[in-house]
Structure 1
Amino acid sequence: MLKTLLAIDDDDAVVVDPRTPPPRPIAEMRAELRAECDARANLCRLLAGVFVEEADAAFIRALRRPEVLDSLAAAGVCFEADFLDAEESALVERLACEYTTLFAASGGFPPVESVRLTGRYKQDPHFQVAQDYAKWGFVVSKGRFELFPDQLGVELMFVAELLERCSAALATGDEALARRIERDLKRFWTQHLARWVRGYARLIEQVAEHSFYRGMAGFLHGFASEEIAAMGLRTDDEDHARAVVPKSEIRVEFNPDEPVCNGCESAPVKPQRAANVHTLHDLR
């Protein structure tokens, strides 16, 4: 009856190959996707902990556990004796000095997107990522250093947060929310992390003295490259591992005929010229 209703001829019936595996249960596929999201989120949080601020004793202790070292070694991250054999308190102090030299001191290489792409703090990426965070209710808490929204560790923590929310959405069967999060993740990588993280990781791998930061920079490069490939993104690296990033020009708009004091308001109004765009060069 069904074949007659749908005008299906027996000759046109699809023959199912008995060797073809049956479709996988949806619940099984969701569980696999959740596990993948959770694993990616954990890696993001691990890398965020490396770059967001100095490594404390608890963080170092966790990384030096044999099972963690084995997992990192399987991913190609091998530390040297300066990390593996050093006494804990001495290692904390040594890494704090290295962190300051690399990321916080004058002449270093701040892990901040605006700085890496424009040579200046608080440029377009700073405000763009802040809007992304506000959209998802992501709040940046104050740390030991001032945290810029486009700091590498903060951007990675935001990605981790979205991945965890995607996992939670899959757990409740909310596939629409999971797809929305996945779209925003791809957009965030395309507009931000993919533009600078790979080159920056290569730079830190070259200039870091301690094997901890060399190894984790290499791990960051591999992780970012795999994420970009897995998401099918076609975004060029704009950082280029530059040790010195030229300062971009600051463009401001102002009208030279606009009054600058109340006393000018009584003056006859003259025809206004169109506002000119002037380049404000760095005065330092």
Structure 2
Amino acid sequence: MTETTQCTTAVDSLRARAHWYRLLAGVFAEEPQAAFVRELRTEACRGALAELGVAFGDDFLRTDEATLLETLACEYTMLFVAPGGFPPMESVRLEGGLRQGAAIRAHACYASEGLAVEAGRFAGFDDHLAVELEFVAALLERQAEALEGNDGQEARRLEKASKRFWVKHLGRWVRGYAGLVEEASEHSFFREMARLLAAFAESELELLGLDVDDGDGGRWRAPKPPEATRPVQCGGAGA
């Protein structure tokens, strides 16, 4: 294999991985939209997903689009938005509250690469699963561009940045969280995509040569934030 062929293969691999990061980000970013669902139900996409072990049920494959979109929107809300659900945010899963330390640290990671969360639904939620996955996808795309430009030093730096983000963020919670979503889901769409997320995370950690403990554990109740465990002082107590 020539050096040029090796480079092309590496670039293709990086972009293929970025594609899967973005697809998974789309699952958790919002209620599934019509275009997204149509793409997943194409023969080509179903075949690619089947090779990864994804097996959607008839509730996804044979339901008419309008009914399916309404059903998925309802389940998305119940799983990720409604009280008692499981918001896909690192701070909530590991620290018990919104916009905790994980969000601040994720924001710093993005800033170090000249990136930031755009104004909109994710503003202030830098540790949302969709945002974290999109960040690694962006790093992989940049790594591919560096290889195409024969900038090996920059490609290695970006690979280290991806590894660091997995160690500090995704690796600490995404596998356990995926297991929880798989268990809690009623619809095969979310169940199968959660299974894919867990398998993909394990594959990425192995590929990157990382051994990271999962702190989420798939628990149904997130931990209480530190302030929730402090004793309440009434009136002039302690004065």
Deviation, 1:109, is 0.3
Instruction: Decide which structure has the larger Cα Rg and report it.
Output: 1
Aligned mates of 1:68, 1:124 — CA distance in 2: 37
Deviation, 1:229, is 1.0
TM-score by length of 1: 0.79
2:201 counterpart residue number:
224
Aligned mates of 2:122, 2:70 — CA distance in 1: 16
Aligned mates of 1:51, 1:282 — CA distance in 2: 37
1:101 counterpart residue number:
78
The equivalent position to 1:165 in structure 2, one of 128, 142, 153, is: 142
CA contact (8 A) 2:91 2:102 kept: yes
Deviation, 1:250, is 3.4
CA contact (8 A) 1:116 1:245 kept: yes
CA contact (8 A) 2:107 2:116 kept: no
2:50 counterpart residue number:
73
| Greater helix content | 2
RMSD: 1.7
2:236 counterpart residue number:
none
1:276 counterpart residue number:
none
**Secondary structure, counterpart of 1:250 in structure 2:** helix
Q: Could you list the structure 1 runs, at least 4 aligned residues long, displaced by more than 3 angstroms after superposition.
A: 142-147, 279-283
**1:214 equivalenced with 2:188 (yes/no):** no
**Secondary structure, counterpart of 2:53 in structure 1:** coil
Aligned mates of 2:124, 2:71 — CA distance in 1: 22
- Show CA shifts across 1:67-101 (max 9, x none): 10111111100000110011111111111111110
- Show CA shifts across 1:230-264 (max 9, x none): 1111111110000001213139xxxxxxxxxxxxx
Higher relative contact order, chain-length normalized (CA < 8 Å, sep 6+)? 2
1:180 counterpart residue number:
157
1:54 counterpart residue number:
31
**1:129 equivalenced with 2:129 (yes/no):** no
Aligned mates of 2:185, 2:13 — CA distance in 1: 31
Aligned mates of 1:208, 1:144 — CA distance in 2: 23
Aligned mates of 2:218, 2:114 — CA distance in 1: 32
2:8 counterpart residue number:
31
**1:84 equivalenced with 2:61 (yes/no):** yes
Could you tell me which runs of 5 or more consecutive residues in structure 1 were left unpaired when the two chains were aligned.
1-23, 252-278
Aligned mates of 1:27, 1:121 — CA distance in 2: 47
Equivalent pairs counted in the alignment come to 233
Deviation, 1:141, is 2.5
Could you tell me which runs of 5 or more consecutive residues in structure 2 were left unpaired when the two chains were aligned.
234-239
Distance 1:109 1:228, change over 3 A: same
Deviation, 1:280, is 4.2
Deviation, 1:53, is 1.0
TM-score by length of 2: 0.93
